[in-house]
Structure 1
Amino acid sequence: MIATAAFLIVFVLWTIFKLLRWGRRESFLPPGPPTVPILGNLFDFPTVYPWLKLTEMARQYGDVYSLKIINSTILVLSSTAAIRDIMDKNSAIVSDRPTSHFAQEITGGNHMGASRYNDQWRRLRRCAREVLTQSACRDHLNIQHAEATQLMYEILTRPEGFFDSIRRFSTSAILSVLYGKRAPRFTTPEVTAFFDAQHHWEELMQPGAHPPVDLIPIMKYVPERWASWKTEVKITRSLQRNLYFGLLEQVETRLQKGLPTGCFMETVIEKAPGFGLGREAVGQIGGTLIEGGADTTSAFLQTLILALVNFPHVQVRAKEELDNVIGDERSPKLDDIERLPYIQAIIKETHRWRPVAPTTLPHANIEDFVYKGHLIPKGTIIFVNAWGVFHDPQVFPQPDEFNPDRWLQDDMESDRTYDLVFGTARRVCPGIHIARNSIEVNTLKLIWAFKFSKSKDPATKQDKVYDLNDFVKGILTGPSRFECEITPRSAQHAEVIKRELLSATQTFEPFEQQLDPADREFVTQLRRDLADEFHML
């Protein structure tokens, strides 16, 4: 009895000792904000727009600082030099992801972006990289050009709906490339289904937005009636699976009928057995690539327009360059961009000014390593603070100004910094070539075709004042809905848009085999109207 009591006393004292050490920053870690017992910096970690608070702390504690959340360690990197030294030089050990209960429950560990650095991730990655080569992506440029042309037409005929038109474009382009099926309307079921699912996914995955289940595993056992995040996980899983596996089934049905389109998922289906991947993994590969190609591209283009509206001198210079190189007899094509350095600079500056992934998905290290005398223990959560890097006034003076000229200078440090846009270490976006093509094609065509101006306040008749920091919450972000005036640059530009859209009919047709009746009626009527218009001319 005495021995049992003594054991219990020792156990309780040991537990108290361990708990009191929780939340304390070990002396071997980089500096950071003061901690409180047990919780550490839990209340310092931001729950919305985390990149702003993380950047604020970087200015105080340095480009590499640490946070303690209970018994876990977070490392925040906010300079190119630190990212290069830690992420690039240690890529083999810092390419893991922190455990994500949400991602595991929703995707079964098959999400290329969120899964752990293990054999399954390597199989997924090898399959995606073998399929998404630069040359293979160029084979799909025709449909990306055609979809970009329809986007111009939609903005020409209904400029007030540009926000939704951009979303339609980005989703339709990636669906065509991946699944051989386009989405001709914003109300096409696959478009609405994707953005519904993506809203739930991004909100769940935003750091700090939900209770720290991964840091306090016992929370997994809280009943659902007291844990709303459990309901969100179920909803998100259902929405994603209905979309991703429904699209996969359509590809499988076409292949069974001997009607291939040459889309990427046909190749994935063919190669998956050789990589040891089953149907579950194949469905998630497609879903991950939709996420990477649809939401990010639309957010970039919406941000681009917000910048053009608020920094009109950029448009003037860009149009001069386009007039000199392209003229008004045709719209630009991707190959033209090599002769348009200022357009290239606009693309880089848009990524820098308001990055779509301000903190990127967090990494984790699978081994201890040492950085400037500091031990970084295995399992540390590593945030690459892209916002902090892109808004460092030492590298980018007046960082809140939209200034493409900064990219026209011979500055290798800035160029290396730009590479952050598509990820770091071994987690670089596998769909980088598709994404770049869509971004570049649409930047060219939109600036060539339109003038973007501020809307007028109905009461004062003065230009509206835009909140350039009003961006949606989530791990990926873009501007909240805003209004602006969009007008074609000339009647000639408008005619070219209509003519090129009508000429794109043959490009679209192979991707319209499985349209629903409403979509079929829409494209038929659109082409009839265009043909009638040109016949009258």
Structure 2
Amino acid sequence: MLAAFLVVGCTIAVCAYYLITPARQKAPADVQLPDGPPGKPIIGNLLDIPPYHSWFKFQEWSMQYGPLFRLNIAGRNHIVVSTEEIANDLLRERGNIYSDREQLPMAAQLLSNNLRPLFLPYGETWRNVRKLMHNLTNVSIAATYEPLQEEESLRMVRDLTRAPEKYETWFERYSAGLILRLAYSKPVYTGEESFVRRILRVVHTVERVASPGAYLVDTIPALMYLPYFLAPFKREGAKLHAEESNLFRNLLEEGISNSQRGPAMENFCGKWFNKKVSYSISDDHAAYAIGTLFEAGAGTTASAMMSFMLSMTLHPHEFAKLQAEVDKIVGPSRLPSFTDMPDLPRVRAVAKEVLRWRPVTAGGLPHMLTKDDVYKMEDGRSIFLPAGVNVHPVQWSIHREPKRYPDPDSFRPERWLEEGWPTFKEPLTQYPNLQNFSAFGFGRRICPGQNIAERSLYILISRIAWCCDISQKQSPEGKPIVPPSYDYITGFNVQPKPFDFDLKARLDRQNLLESEYNAVWSNNQEKNG
């Protein structure tokens, strides 16, 4: 009986959807739609797209159909972009019409209740929320957070030398500890605190829910017309939303309360509360804006650092070069600091190459076009892009464009450091850097936390190079254990699955590291009880 109800309900929902959905536009006579793989009736290319790591297939298609190609997913057109030039031309230079988001039923509506900035439609509310996030994370204000980043990185590298097998925990604790202090004046000590694990569960939930193909309703929005009792995804969405909204609201209240205890406890929540009227957003929008700054910063920085460890394990000669630069500039008698960064171009190059070689958001985030547009390709073709289409800048493909990134599958930090490479820029005291790098997205939807993330990667990488020796683990037979180059988890943001490596503290640095750690963190724990 339930199955019969479900079939009838689905049929009614699909019919209702197509009755109220306007007919799709055809390309004007003098332009053409992009090429793309042929699909099947009704479902189009739906079954051609792998359920995970779909960016491999997208890259294959880009080689066959060009850097701008079309997919039909159950009657909805999607445009895939595979070069940085086209992505910037459309998403940055024409950002006034390429900055919307499709309101995916599960991620945007049911999970987020139209509150999460990542999924907000382009409009007044999004601009007001973005204004708050910009004021908390812009270049000037991000520089004031450097002392906290140095404190948290000191703790991370000290614990990494003591228990390298727990590297995932230490990277997650660094990211969580930093953002929770900045956002809520809430210290983290072990990384296993219940509130930390709860927040990380929310982060992993949104990554799972927003993954392409995770829910059928995102592919067939007509299923939203199903009644509640026939739609288990609606019940799941309501439960997940209640959990995260309760968390973000409570954290906002706690952050405001902490910020009122004095200047030393200033945080994101207090900064919003003190100028609340000027932002013209609801308390819930503020709670989500601040809460999702944690989402943006915590998961991505930790994931990037895990890829850094993988890259150094696979390329020990690159780690040796990194150590040589840090040793030359910093020496053995102090830890690297942010004041060293202009003189550490290889540190910055390694950070940038890690994000290029193993992008965290490998599939990219789609932008929705709000107005018909025409784009002229290099070969002279005029391509019609209809309003409402989703434009996917696939970072995996963009970061592997041979013209811009020769030898794209190899880990080559010198592409940012040496003349002759297309990406080389001078002066090396300023370049390379991560400003407006495609790994953080494009145009008006670029990641608002990029300035904080950039500094985090620099300080963590430089201090690991200063303090640690990394090598491949040896088997009982004395042979090196080489981890897989790409064995990554599935999801919206990705990171390497756990892998083996050896890490030891450099003997001439360990005592200084312990001394610095004790000076900073014993004081911190005393101040926070």
Q: Does 1:401 align with 2:410?
A: yes
- Of residues 500-509 and 48-57 in structure 1, the stretch that sits farther from structure 2 once superposed is 500-509
Residue range with higher mean Cα deviation, 39-48 or 416-425: 416-425
Note the 1:18-417 alignment, pairs <5 A. 28-102=32-106, 103-211=108-216, 213-222=217-226, 227-255=231-259, 261-372=265-376, 373-410=382-419, 411=421, 413=423
Contact 1:151 1:169 (8 Å CA) reproduced: yes
Larger Rg: 1
> 1:489-533: CA deviations, max 9, x gaps?
22x2111111111221487359x64xxxxxx5xxxxxxxxxxxxx
CA distance in 1, matches of 2:517, 2:453: 22
Measured in 2, the distance between the counterparts of 1:162 and 1:176 equals 21
Give me the TM-score of the superposition, normalised by structure 1.
0.86
Q: Give the secondary structure class of the aligned counterpart of 1:208.
A: coil
Distance 1:25 1:369, change over 3 A: closer
Pairwise CA distance, 1:93: 0.5
Match status 1:446 vs 2:449 = no
Q: Distance in 2 between matches of 1:326 and 1:136?
A: 26
Question: C-alpha offsets along residues 67-88 of structure 1, whole Å, 9 cap, x if unaligned?
Answer: 1123311000001221122222
Conserved 8 A contact 1:155-1:165: yes
Deviates more, 1:358-367 or 1:35-44: 35-44
CA contact (8 A) 2:260 2:270 kept: no
- CA displacement at 1:308 relative to structure 2: 0.4
CA contact (8 A) 1:178 1:286 kept: yes
Matching residue within 479, 495, 512 for 1:496: 512
How far is 1:185 from its partner?
Answer: 0.7
Deviation at 1:239, TM superposition (A): 3.5
SS of residue matched to 1:142:
helix
Equivalent AA in structure 2 for residue 447 of structure 1 = A
- Residue 468 in structure 1 maps to residue 468 in structure 2: no
Alpha-carbon distance, 1:380 to partner: 0.5
CA contact (8 A) 2:256 2:269 kept: no
Aligned pair partner of 1:428 in 442, 446, 457 = 446
Say if 1:378 and 1:270 are closer, same or farther in 2 by CA, change over 3 A.
Answer: same
Which residue does 1:524 correspond to in 2? none
Moved more, 105-114 or 428-437: 105-114
Q: How many Å separate the matches in 2 of 1:224 and 1:311?
A: 53
Q: Would the aligned equivalents of 2:183 and 2:255 in 1 still touch at CA under 8 Å?
A: no
24 and 482 in structure 1: CA distance in 2 versus 1, 3 angstrom threshold = farther
Aligned to 2:5: none
Are residues 280 and 60 of structure 1, via their aligned partners in 2, closer, same or farther at CA, if it must alter by over 3 Å? Answer: same
Letter in 2 for 1:484: F
Kept in 1, the 8 Å contact 2:25–2:386? The answer is no
Distance 2:518 2:499 in 1: 30
Could you give the per-residue CA deviations for residues 428-460 of structure 1, whole angstroms, max 9, x where no partner exists?
Answer: 1111211111111111111111111122334x4
What residue ranges of structure 1 are gaps of 5+ in the alignment? 1-14, 514-519, 521-537
CA shift at 1:257, angstroms?
5.3
Task: Select between 431-440 and 380-389 the one with higher mean Cα deviation.
Answer: 431-440
Once residues 273 and 106 of structure 1 are traced to their aligned partners in structure 2, the CA distance between those partners, rounded to angstroms, is: 27
Is the contact made by 1:127 and 1:271 (CA closer than 8 Å) also made in structure 2? no
Is the 2:415–2:423 contact (alpha carbons within 8 Å) kept by the matching residues of 1? no
In the alignment, is the contact (CA less than 8 A) between 1:240 and 1:287 conserved in 2?
no
Asked whether the 8 Å contact 1:24–1:37 carries over to 2, the reply is no
Percentage of identical aligned residues: 27
Distance change in 2, residues 1:472/1:239 (3 Å): farther
Q: Give, in angstroms, the shift of residue 227 of structure 1.
A: 4.8
Structure 1 equivalent of residue 455 of structure 2: 437
In structure 2, C-alpha distance between the alignment counterparts of 1:29 and 1:17, rounded to whole Å: 25
- Cα deviation, 1:89-121, whole Å, max 9, x if unaligned, reads 211100111122222222222212111101110
1:28 Cα deviation (Å)? 2.8
Deviation at 1:191, TM superposition (A): 2.0
Output one character per residue of 1:338-374: Cα deviation in whole Å (capped at 9) or x when no partner. 1011111111110111011112221101111001212
Q: Letter of the aligned partner of 1:63 in structure 2?
A: P
**Alpha-carbon shift at residue 40 of structure 1 (Å):** 1.6
SS at match of 2:302: helix
Give the root-mean-square deviation of aligned CA atoms. Answer: 2.7
Partner of 1:483: 500
Q: Deviations over 1:171-208 (max 9, x none)?
A: 10111111111211121223211221222211110112
CA distance in 2, matches of 1:243, 1:165: 23
1:244 & 1:320 partners in 2: Cα distance? 44
CA distance in 2, matches of 1:506, 1:245: 31
Aligned equivalents of 1:318, 1:176: Cα separation in 2: 30
Contact 2:350 2:413 (C-alpha < 8 Å) held by counterparts: yes
Deviates more, 1:60-69 or 1:476-485: 476-485
- Tell me, yes or no, if the aligned pair for 2:483 and 2:500 is still in contact at 8 Å: no
Deviations 1:203-260 (A, max 9, x none): 110112221x245332124466765533442343234224322221211223455676
Tell me the matched-pair count.
495
Q: Indicate the larger mover: 397-406 or 413-422.
A: 413-422
Aligned CA distance change for structure 1 residues 70 and 159 (closer, same or farther; 3 Å): closer
Q: Is the 8 A contact 2:36 2:69 kept in 1?
A: yes
Q: CA deviation at 1:132?
A: 2.1
Task: Tell me how far apart the structure 1 counterparts of residues 164 and 522 of structure 2 sit (CA, whole Å).
Answer: 26
Q: Structure 1's 264 and 509: CA in aligned 2 closer, same or farther, altered over 3 A?
A: farther
Separation in 2 of the partners of 1:85 and 1:302?
A: 32
Q: What amino acid is aligned across from residue 465 of structure 1 in structure 2? A: V
Q: Is the 8 Å Cα contact of residues 160 and 167 (structure 2) preserved in structure 1?
A: yes
Letter in 2 for 1:300: A
Aligned counterpart, 1:455: 473
Distance in 2, matches of 1:64 and 1:150, equals: 45
TM-score, normalization by structure 2? 0.87
Give yes or no for contact 1:94–1:364 (8 Å, CA) kept in 2: yes
- Cα 1:306–1:235 change in 2 (3 A) is farther
CA distance in 2, matches of 1:197, 1:451: 34
